[in-house]
Amino acid sequence: MILMLKKNTTHPEAEQLLQRLISMGFNAVKEQKGDRIAIAIVSGIDTNTKESEFSRLPNVESVETFSETFKLAGREFRDQPLVIDVRGKKIGGDAICVMAGPCSIESEAQIHRIAESVKAAGADFLRGGAFKPRTSPYDFQGLGEEGVYYIRDAAHKNDMVSVSEVMDIEQLEIALGNIDILQIGARNMQNYSLLKAIGKTRTPVMLKRGFAATYREFLMAAEYILNAGNPNVILCERGIRTYESYTRNTLDIGAVPVLKELSHLPIIIDPSHGTGIRNMVAPMSRAAIAAGADGIMVEVHYDPDRSYSDAQQAISCESFSEMMPSLFAIRAAIMK
Ligand code: PEP
Ligand code: MN
């Protein structure tokens, strides 16, 4: 339910009402909606609580019901597109967020070398995996904790924001305070315990769409994080499973306009996992920006064929820097 407060309600009055609702056992949040303050009650409403009981509360002008199940991820309560600011670098809004780096952090020297190169090409976000979700247990599993420190240092040395995946709560504890943006991979999109645990932090999260998740399931996964108290969620479309086997996945660029319409959360595209094919990364990155994505996440390596993981989709540092100006040009063209 959304309680729209009267126009002249002050912030202390709204806060008092919010605290009253929380003490009554409701999970409620407050938001400025145009010239009004609104309070969303997202859970804790027992079926006997009638709308009329809420409309009698002080300063409540009207009571609306949610029509979507993703109450906090949707646009009914929060309509303004979310802009997340991580140490001055923005995700959402006017800027394009470019996350680049190797699939796996392979050594301290490797991540520093790639960080310098992608930063010089214009990327502000350094992405690399320390904990790797691999299809085969015999494949490289990542450097683990050591990798977390390497990417943290490489990012900060180059004035970049670090992005890295955690697959469980133990890894989350290692990453917290070291990694700026936590990635939840496609395989864990519906790992509800992990979503709830990340929801209890305020660290921004890049949530990747599961291979077989619908848009609504994707937004409900985001809802778990928001509902637990963390508003800083970035959606990432990374391709879905279809009958097409030529590409690793089928990149669903259509996710951009749909999720922009349904949600206020920023959305980025991962053309690397979305296609699995190096030569498709630049064209699909351009398509992503043309479709209105807030950014991209790409796998880059100075020696792509020798990458420890996902070598076929890694692009070289040179290809990355060649591609970058076209993204800004496309963005400028669609902003006109
Ligand atoms: C990754 O980003 O390196 C990764 C494993 O992605 P996904 O979870 O989308 O497969
Ligand atoms: Mn990868």
Pocket of ligand 1 contains residue 185 by CB under 6 Å: yes
Confidence of residue 160 (pLDDT cuts 50, 70, 90): very high
pLDDT tens sequence across 117-153: 999 999 999 999 999 999 999 999 999 999 999 999 9
CA of 211 to the centre of ligand 2 (A): 14
- Angle, helices 255-262 vs 215-227, to 10°: value is 40
**What number does the ligand 1 atom closest to the CA of 310 have?**
3
- Higher pLDDT among residues 257 and 49, named by residue: 257
Whose C-alpha lies nearest to ligand 1, atom 3?
103
Q: Which domains does the chain have, with CATH numbers?
A: 2-64 (3.30.70), 84-334 (3.20.20.70)
Question: Considering every ligand atom, which ligand is closest to the CA of 276?
Answer: 2
Contact (CB, 8 A) for 296 and 270: yes
Pocket of ligand 1 contains residue 194 by CB under 6 Å: no
Whose C-alpha lies nearest to ligand 1, atom 4?
185
pLDDT tens sequence across 26-67: 999 999 988 899 999 998 876 567 777 899 999 999 999 999
Q: Which of 105, 183, 281, 297 to mutate for ligand 1's pocket (most ligand atoms within 8 Å of CB)?
A: 183
- The b/e string for 225-264 (b: 16+ C-beta within 10 A; e otherwise) is bbbeebbbbbbbbbbbeeeeeebbbbbbbebbeebbebbb
Average pLDDT over residues 266-283: 98
Pocket of ligand 1 contains residue 101 by CB under 6 Å: no
pLDDT tens sequence across 167-198: 999 999 999 999 999 999 999 999 999 999 99
Pocket of ligand 1 contains residue 209 by CB under 6 Å: no
Question: Considering every ligand atom, which ligand is closest to the CA of 249?
Answer: 1
Pocket of ligand 1 contains residue 133 by CB under 6 Å: yes
pLDDT tens sequence across 223-235: 999 999 999 999 9
d(CA 222, CA 206): 10
What is the residue-averaged pLDDT of the chain?
96
> Cα torsion at 327, 333, 334, 336 (round to 10°)?
140
Question: Considering every ligand atom, which ligand is closest to the CA of 127?
Answer: 1
Pocket of ligand 1 contains residue 129 by CB under 6 Å: yes
d(CA 14, CA 289): 39
pLDDT tens sequence across 205-253: 999 999 999 999 999 999 999 999 999 999 999 999 999 999 999 999 9
pLDDT for res 48: 66
Contact (CB, 8 A) for 304 and 316: yes
Q: How much of the chain, in percent, has pLDDT values that exceed 90? A: 94
Contact (CB, 8 A) for 72 and 223: yes
